[in-house]
Structure 1
Amino acid sequence: MTELILLEDEPVLAVELDEFLRECGYQVTVTNSLASFVAAFDEQRHRLAVLDLGLPDGDGLELIGQLRERGSTLGIVAFTARSATAHRVSGFRQGADHYLAKGCDLDELAAVLEALRRRLGLLPQPTATWQLRLGPRQLQAPNQQDLRLSHQDILVLHCLMRRAGEIVSRREIVSALDEDYLTYDQRRLDTQIRRLRRKVEETTGLELPLKTLRNNGYCFYEQVQIVG
């Protein structure tokens, strides 16, 4: 799982971004000031950063410049209310890889981070297929490690993996769970996906190749085999 450090001083937005990034499969460290970022940041662990610029104890642009001056290869997304062209140019000159204005669709943030992961070589390289065994309710990872699945988990994975490479809507997944989409509490699905990601990584040591598209659904993006 890719580790990401988030620097955001607005509490409500920090919680929203933290939850969204975790849904996207990142392990997130949340900080709210330059000082807390410096205390928490670990170059060996954190490979990506989402940084606000206007902070209570300084300017995030200076932080980006300091990171680049000492040779950091951290993938940096400036996520800020400063949206003027001059601000964007300053951000890129200081060393930001991407510059996004607050208020953008969070799916754009997810896409930018995925592009950074690809450029930095952080995306998992598939060596074999993921195999879903319906009878014994098992998921086999490409490294041959097996995970026993609950009834709910196998319904969700079957819905996603039979459409591997495509976007599967939340409505389709809820329908596969035999629930009424209009009365179903969407937080239950979010919780189930988070738990499933965690179980897969803890048991197999691999990250579940599941991309979250917040306003659309999910996409299982590696090759699969489904065995009846």
Structure 2
Amino acid sequence: MRLLLVEDDPVLGDGLKTGLSQAGFTVDWAQDGAAADAALDCEQFALAILDLGLPRLEGLEVLRRLRRRGQTLPVLILTARDSTGEKVAGLDAGADDYLIKPIDLDELAARIRALLRRAGGRAAPVLEVGPLRLDPASHQVELEGQPVNLSTREFSILQLLVENAGRVISRSQLEAALYGWGDSLESNAVEVHIHHLRKKLGSDSIRTLRGVGYTFPR
């Protein structure tokens, strides 16, 4: 899943980007509010992690502009501002969660997964479709009770398809969800990952609708 991290502290931002990437997320990092506002206006993210004390545009104003555009993207505020009034202001402006720095990285990743579950309209932490079981927290996949070894990108593609089982996801949607700024992307990268997934899960596990996209059958 592709996240936007908005943090002006270079040391903290680098640590969060590295840690969340190791947790399986694709992370783009904006270091000021204006850059974040522009990215949120024209690019697709699954969730935003937003600091409040930002140069060029305050974090709360970034959030207000996002909500005025009608965007329902989950937003987790991560800030050193810890007064009750500031928490109330952030949540009332449209934030979905509010955390105080410093934060344990495991807790942050768990909060992100919880917000993504809620945004996807599901309560169960583990995804199950037919004989397939996928656990976003542990990055483990089982097919008919047997573990399946997947690369990080293969897991991310499969998770997105399983979360949308029965619906068609286009190649451009997969690319937008999985590849961040600066990532090199070969023209056939998605097709290669799909090919590897079919070898591991079965040739009929993912269906192609030519010229439209891919679907994981219910």
For the aligned pair, the TM-score class normalised by the smaller chain equals 0.5 to 0.7
**Aligned 1:77-92 pairs, distance under 5 A:** 77-92=76-91
Equivalent position of 1:105 in the other structure: 104
Equivalent position of 1:74 in the other structure: 73
For residue 158 of structure 2, give the secondary structure of its aligned residue in structure 1.
coil
Q: Percent identity?
A: 39
50-59 vs 34-43, which moves further? 34-43
Unaligned runs of 5+ residues in structure 2 are: 135-139, 163-218
Deviations 1:1-39 (A, max 9, x none): x21111000011111110111122211111001121123
Q: Quick check: 1:141–1:206 contact (8 Å CA) kept in 2?
A: no
State the AA in 2 paired with 1:98: D
Equivalent position of 2:56 in the other structure: 57
Runs (4+) off by over 4 Å: 139-142
For residue 77 of structure 1, give the secondary structure of its aligned residue in structure 2.
strand
**What is the aligned residue count?**
151
1:129 is aligned to 2:108: no
**Aligned 1:1-228 pairs, distance under 5 A:** 2-41=1-40, 45-121=44-120, 125-127=127-129, 128-129=131-132, 196-198=151-153, 200-201=154-155, 205-207=157-159
Q: Quick check: 2:34–2:57 contact (8 Å CA) kept in 1?
A: no
Deviations 1:168-196 (A, max 9, x none): xxxxxxxxxxxxxxxxxxxxxxxxx9x93
Q: Quick check: 1:34–1:58 contact (8 Å CA) kept in 2?
A: yes
Q: Quick check: 1:43–1:72 contact (8 Å CA) kept in 2?
A: no
Call closer, same or farther: CA 1:37–1:44 in 2, change over 3 Å: closer
For residue 151 of structure 2, give the secondary structure of its aligned residue in structure 1.
helix
Call closer, same or farther: CA 1:122–1:15 in 2, change over 3 Å: farther
In structure 2, C-alpha distance between the alignment counterparts of 1:130 and 1:28, rounded to whole Å: 25
State the AA in 1 paired with 2:128: P
In structure 1, C-alpha distance between the alignment counterparts of 2:141 and 2:76, rounded to whole Å: 34
Two-structure CA RMSD over aligned residues (Å): 3.3
Equivalent position of 1:215 in the other structure: none
**Structure 1 position 56, deviation (Å):** 1.4
Taking structure 2 as the reference length, what is the TM-score of the superposition? 0.60
Deviations 1:17-64 (A, max 9, x none): 101111222111110011211232256621200001001113101111
In structure 1, C-alpha distance between the alignment counterparts of 2:43 and 2:33, rounded to whole Å: 19
Q: Quick check: 1:197–1:207 contact (8 Å CA) kept in 2?
A: no
**Structure 1 position 125, deviation (Å):** 3.8
State the AA in 2 paired with 1:14: G
In structure 2, C-alpha distance between the alignment counterparts of 1:140 and 1:38, rounded to whole Å: 36
Call closer, same or farther: CA 1:57–1:100 in 2, change over 3 Å: same
State the AA in 1 paired with 2:6: L
Taking structure 1 as the reference length, what is the TM-score of the superposition? 0.57
The structure that has the greater radius of gyration is 1
For residue 54 of structure 1, give the secondary structure of its aligned residue in structure 2.
coil
103-112 vs 67-76, which moves further? 103-112
In structure 2, C-alpha distance between the alignment counterparts of 1:11 and 1:122, rounded to whole Å: 34
